[in-house]
């Protein structure tokens, strides 16, 4: 990375820490967490909003609260200011009870940026406890017949028992971390089994991916792919492709199985070939309208995946290739997709993301996971590798 690029990323990191501090000060004592922005302002809700069913409609609950705690830890790593650690601990106390949440696979998203990263950032073994509790809750979602982690709903719910989602690939790091912390190989074994199932069923021949896949929970037989947030069952939801790229790259890092490297690279080739020149995709590659909503969070996720491939790929040329792509993606985001200088209008870091276009929710917004993956990649390039994906 050139000296000028390094300086640019450090400037953005410092600006981001100031923006995070402003949000934390405003929310301090409110017991609410930023989720997505509406007209530039964070929509906030409590950490104890659980996922659940409303008839046959699924509500995901607050699956993003851990990313906010993780952002506070990233700010602490850069500044070493005690206020960020204090905020992270305070908000983390509100998240901790979710370690027993039996309704969702997103418990990995809730606990690996918050408590797993926090235990390392603060050198505090006490913070490992809630993350390990969450890992135990997550592995209970494993269906051994289909070799998958059930995505949504109580384990005995008839509408949910066969549900899986590409997003789960980026919940698996909590399980790999739990094996390293405890020595219990079962966490990693379940993560590997799910990653194998995901690579088999989610990845299409052209490198695009399904968002969801249904299984017969009794036999484990795959039934078919679909979507919840994409344009259609057979379209290519761009964020889903990047969940796969980053997740399979991490699976290769953990298990060195060529199946995972091949899956990550096939999805990466598809994504790079489909994105426009600024490397930020439309929310779904099937949306060919003149001005489709963008999803900058997908680029942030992909950059993290490419930084993993840069460290683990056996081919030195490929390592350089993925590093260069990651830097180019982050440079593009820093140039045209952040709210720097827009303090009167924008509270988020990364602009022009899309939560769910089909549901009209968080379109052209900042989203908490986008801010997290964006700043995590910036941290990787400036202060050194962050040990939790």
HEC sequence for 145-182: CCCEECCECCCCCCCCCCEEEHHHHHCCHHHHHHHHHH
Number of separate domains in the chain? 1
Query: How confident is the model over 6-20, as a mean pLDDT?
Result: 95
Strand order in the sheet with 222-226: 163-165, 212-215, 222-226
Query: How confident is the model over 9-33, as a mean pLDDT?
Result: 97
| Structural domain includes residue 348 | yes
In the set 38, 101, 125, 167, the catalytic residue is 167
Structural domain containing residue 11: 3-141+199-208+238-382
Q: Which pLDDT score, from 0 to 100, does residue 272 have?
A: 98
Query: How confident is the model over 360-380, as a mean pLDDT?
Result: 97
| Structural domain includes residue 251 | yes
| Structural domain includes residue 131 | yes
Q: How far apart are CA 173 and CA 302, in angstroms?
A: 16
| Structural domain includes residue 359 | yes
- To the nearest whole percent, how much of the chain has pLDDT over 70? 98
- For 27, other C-beta atoms within 10 Å of its C-beta total 17
Please indicate whether residue 364 is annotated as part of the active site.
Answer: no
Q: How far apart are CA 349 and CA 334, in angstroms?
A: 10
| Structural domain includes residue 129 | yes
- pLDDT tens-place string over residues 145-157: 999 999 999 999 8
Please indicate whether residue 167 is annotated as part of the active site.
Answer: yes
Q: Which pLDDT score, from 0 to 100, does residue 342 have?
A: 81
| Structural domain includes residue 173 | no
pLDDT over 90 (residue 51)? no
| Structural domain includes residue 40 | yes
- Lowest-pLDDT range of 130-144, 171-185, 333-347, 366-380: 333-347
pLDDT over 80 (residue 53)? no
Q: How far apart are CA 199 and CA 385, in angstroms?
A: 26
CATH number of the CATH domain containing 280 = 1.50.10.10
| Structural domain includes residue 147 | no
In the set 101, 106, 295, 371, the catalytic residue is 106
- pLDDT tens-place string over residues 281-291: 999 999 999 99
- pLDDT tens-place string over residues 292-324: 999 999 999 999 999 999 999 999 999 999 999
- pLDDT tens-place string over residues 55-94: 777 778 899 999 999 999 999 999 999 999 999 999 999 9
pLDDT over 90 (residue 162)? yes
The whole-chain average pLDDT of the chain stands at 96
């Amino acid at each position: 990375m050139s000296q000028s690029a390094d300086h640019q990323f450090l400037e953005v990191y410092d600006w981001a820490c100031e923006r995070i501090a402003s949000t934390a000060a405003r929310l301090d004592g409110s017991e609410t967490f930023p989720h997505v922005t509406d007209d530039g302002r964070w929509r906030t809700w409590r950490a104890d909003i659980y996922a659940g069913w409303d008839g046959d409609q699924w509500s995901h609950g607050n699956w993003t609260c851990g990313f906010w705690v993780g952002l506070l830890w990233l700010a602490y790593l850069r500044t070493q200011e005690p206020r960020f650690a204090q905020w992270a601990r305070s908000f983390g106390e509100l998240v901790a009870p979710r370690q027993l949440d039996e309704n969702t696979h997103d418990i990995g998203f809730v606990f690996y940026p918050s408590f797993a990263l926090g235990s390392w950032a603060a050198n505090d073994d006490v913070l490992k406890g809630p993350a390990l509790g969450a890992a135990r809750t997550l592995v209970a979602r494993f269906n051994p017949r289909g070799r998958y982690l059930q995505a949504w709903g109580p384990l005995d719910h008839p509408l949910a028992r066969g549900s899986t989602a590409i997003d789960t690939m980026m919940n698996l790091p909590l399980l790999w971390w739990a094996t390293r912390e405890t020595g219990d190989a079962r966490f990693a074994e379940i993560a590997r089994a799910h990653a194998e199932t995901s690579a088999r069923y989610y990845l299409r021949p052209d490198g695009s991916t399904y968002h969801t896949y249904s299984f017969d929970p009794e036999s484990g037989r795959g039934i078919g792919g679909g979507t919840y947030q994409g344009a259609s069952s057979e379209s290519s939801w761009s964020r889903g492709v990047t969940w796969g790229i980053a997740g399979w790259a991490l699976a290769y890092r953990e298990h060195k199985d060529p199946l995972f490297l091949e899956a990550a690279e096939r999805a990466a080739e598809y994504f790079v070939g489909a994105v426009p020149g600024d490397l930020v995709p439309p929310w779904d590659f099937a949306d060919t309208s003149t001005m489709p909503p963008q999803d900058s969070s997908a680029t942030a996720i992909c950059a993290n995946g490419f930084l993993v491939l840069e460290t683990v790929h056996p081919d030195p040329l490929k390592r350089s290739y993925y590093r260069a792509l990651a830097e180019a993606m982050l440079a593009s985001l820093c140039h045209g997709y952040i709210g720097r200088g827009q303090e009167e209008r924008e509270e988020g870091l990364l602009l022009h993301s899309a939560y769910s276009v089909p549901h009209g929710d968080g379109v052209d917004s900042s989203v908490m996971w986008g801010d997290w993956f964006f700043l995590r990649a910036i941290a990787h390039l400036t202060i050194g590798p962050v040990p939790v994906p």
